[in-house]
């Protein structure tokens, strides 16, 4: 990592740690934060005053643009501790690039690499006791940027705040996941912001997801908004379909997030000799494959969820349960990926980066 900024980050340490209050065996995802956060403000056209300081609430004006016009983006990353107590990041350069792609699409300033990476590395170093080793344990990292400029006029803010907060994590989902294929509601428009990790993309999914939850489905698989015939993504995960022994997943586009777990799984699967077909996948294909028995697996892929097997889907009020399967691609790929992430097997891809 570049160290140009290293000695410019002010560090204000917390007077005491909250770590002994935390039950690391029973963590609710995204609910507990470490002692410190990284913050850097954009004002007068410049990023300034990078600081690591105690995690605590901060002040915003009631007219701050993030509240009114939704200029807000984020990333989701994870760090892992190996059995030598070293901390490793997984493909942080990919998150950094995507963060700035999101920034451009939302008319927000790009964050310099040195601020993003040095802020992250120094924050993880300071709060390293919060990163627990062992399978299933990780540190979920949330870099985000919000518009802090004042004024209720609909144009881009002049001022922004970039922050990194850390939340120790176990796994994201629990229990069996059934999904609903979207027939009316949509996540993203052609020419819209679906490929950006923009805050507004998530709130837009809550109402239709709540409706799906009430019917007994944990997630929605979104379809293209124009025809609702193509399977896209699950909102917090990209989605893979295994038909016979071929893995299918939609190509990334301006409607579909370029998932880092997604692209890692594609590379890993290919290396394992699995045929991966990246192309638009039709809802009709999925239904047909479920009916003729060639649909073997569906799974989600994302930083928070890693790999999440899906046991069935509903479309047009018909529920299709997937067969139990031996030699699941999902579990096989998940094990290989988490072994790389936890440094339990050799990282032949060069994806892990030491903090």
* 205-213, 279-287, 307-315, 316-324 -> range binding a second copy (CB under 8 A): 205-213
Q: Residue 228, exposed/middle/buried by CB under 10 A (0-12, 13-18, 19+)?
A: middle
Per CB under 8 A, 126 contacts a second copy: no
CB of 142 to a second copy, least distance (A): 5
Site for a second copy in 268-307 (CB under 8 A): 304
Per CB under 8 A, 45 contacts a second copy: no
Per CB under 8 A, 348 contacts a second copy: no
CB of 193 to a second copy, least distance (A): 5
Per CB under 8 A, 59 contacts a second copy: yes
Contact (CB, 8 A) for 65 and 199? no
CB of 285 to a second copy, least distance (A): 21
Using CB under 8 A, pick the residue from 112, 235, 259, 300 that binds a second copy.
Answer: 235
Which residues, at least 6 apart from 334, have a Cβ–Cβ distance to it below 8 Å? 306, 307
Cβ proximity to a second copy, 235 vs 309, nearer residue: 235
Per CB under 8 A, 187 contacts a second copy: yes
Cβ proximity to a second copy, 31 vs 293, nearer residue: 31
Per CB under 8 A, 133 contacts a second copy: no
CB of 247 to a second copy, least distance (A): 25
Contact (CB, 8 A) for 132 and 24? yes
* 1-9, 102-110, 120-128, 316-324 -> range binding a second copy (CB under 8 A): 102-110
Which residues, at least 6 apart from 266, have a Cβ–Cβ distance to it below 8 Å? 247, 249, 276, 278
Sign of the four-CA dihedral 13, 92, 136, 343 = negative
Residue 183 to residues 172, 234, 238, 280, 329, Cα–Cα distance (Å): 26, 14, 18, 17, 28
Per CB under 8 A, 202 contacts a second copy: yes
Cβ proximity to a second copy, 203 vs 325, nearer residue: 203
* 55-63, 269-277, 328-336, 341-349 -> range binding a second copy (CB under 8 A): 55-63
Per CB under 8 A, 234 contacts a second copy: no
Cβ proximity to a second copy, 74 vs 217, nearer residue: 74
Using CB under 8 A, pick the residue from 144, 253, 258, 328 that binds a second copy.
Answer: 144
CB atoms within 10 A of CB 332: 15
Per CB under 8 A, 186 contacts a second copy: yes
Per CB under 8 A, 11 contacts a second copy: no
Contact (CB, 8 A) for 281 and 241? yes
* Cα angle 114, 116, 117; round to 5: 65
* 44-52, 61-69, 245-253, 309-317 -> range binding a second copy (CB under 8 A): 61-69
The Cα–Cα gap between 288 and 216 comes to 23
Which residues, at least 6 apart from 42, have a Cβ–Cβ distance to it below 8 Å? 48, 109, 159, 160, 161, 162
Cβ proximity to a second copy, 184 vs 324, nearer residue: 184
The Cα–Cα gap between 298 and 176 comes to 12
The Cα–Cα gap between 142 and 152 comes to 27
Using CB under 8 A, pick the residue from 41, 93, 113, 150 that binds a second copy.
Answer: 150
Cβ proximity to a second copy, 97 vs 228, nearer residue: 228
The Cα–Cα gap between 228 and 199 comes to 23
Contact (CB, 8 A) for 87 and 124? yes
Per CB under 8 A, 23 contacts a second copy: no
Cβ proximity to a second copy, 235 vs 259, nearer residue: 235
Using CB under 8 A, pick the residue from 1, 27, 40, 147 that binds a second copy.
Answer: 147
Which residues, at least 6 apart from 174, have a Cβ–Cβ distance to it below 8 Å? none
Which tokens is 311 given?
């046991």
Per CB under 8 A, 185 contacts a second copy: yes
């Amino acid at each position: 990592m570049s160290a140009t900024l290293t000695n410019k980050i002010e560090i204000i340490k917390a007077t005491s740690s909250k770590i002994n209050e935390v039950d690391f065996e029973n963590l609710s995802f995204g609910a507990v934060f470490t002692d410190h956060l990284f913050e850097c403000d954009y004002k007068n056209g410049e990023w300034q005053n990078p600081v690591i300081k105690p995690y605590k609430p901060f002040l915003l004006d009631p007219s701050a643009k993030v509240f009114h016009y939704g200029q807000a983006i984020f990333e989701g990353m994870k760090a892992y501790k190996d059995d030598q107590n070293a901390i490793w990041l997984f493909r942080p350069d990919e998150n950094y690039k995507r963060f700035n792609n999101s920034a451009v699409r939302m008319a927000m300033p790009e964050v310099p690499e040195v601020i993003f990476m040095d802020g992250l590395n120094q924050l993880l170093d300071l709060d390293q006791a919060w990163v627990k080793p062992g399978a299933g344990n990780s540190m979920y990292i949330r870099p985000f940027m919000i518009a802090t400029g004042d004024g209720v006029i609909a144009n881009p803010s002049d001022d922004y705040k970039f922050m990194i907060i850390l939340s120790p994590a176990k796994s994201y989902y629990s229990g069996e996941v059934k999904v609903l294929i979207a027939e009316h509601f949509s996540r993203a428009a052609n020419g819209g912001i679906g490929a950006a990790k923009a805050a507004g993309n998530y709130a837009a999914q809550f109402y239709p997801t709540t409706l799906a939850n009430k019917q007994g489905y944990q997630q929605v698989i979104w379809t293209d908004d124009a025809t609702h015939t193509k399977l896209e993504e699950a909102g917090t995960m990209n989605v893979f379909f295994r038909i016979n022994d071929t893995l299918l997943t939609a190509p990334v586009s301006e409607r579909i997030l370029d998932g880092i777990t997604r692209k890692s799984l594609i590379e890993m699967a290919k290396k394992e000799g699995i045929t991966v077909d990246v192309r638009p996948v039709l809802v009709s294909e999925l239904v047909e494959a479920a009916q003729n028995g060639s649909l073997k697996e569906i799974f989600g892929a994302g930083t928070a969820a890693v790999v999440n097997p899906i046991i069935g889907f509903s479309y047009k009020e018909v529920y299709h349960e997937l067969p139990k399967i031996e030699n699941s691609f999902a579990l096989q790929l998940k094990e290989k990926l988490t072994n790389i992430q936890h440094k339990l097997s050799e990282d032949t891809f060069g994806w892990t980066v030491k903090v």
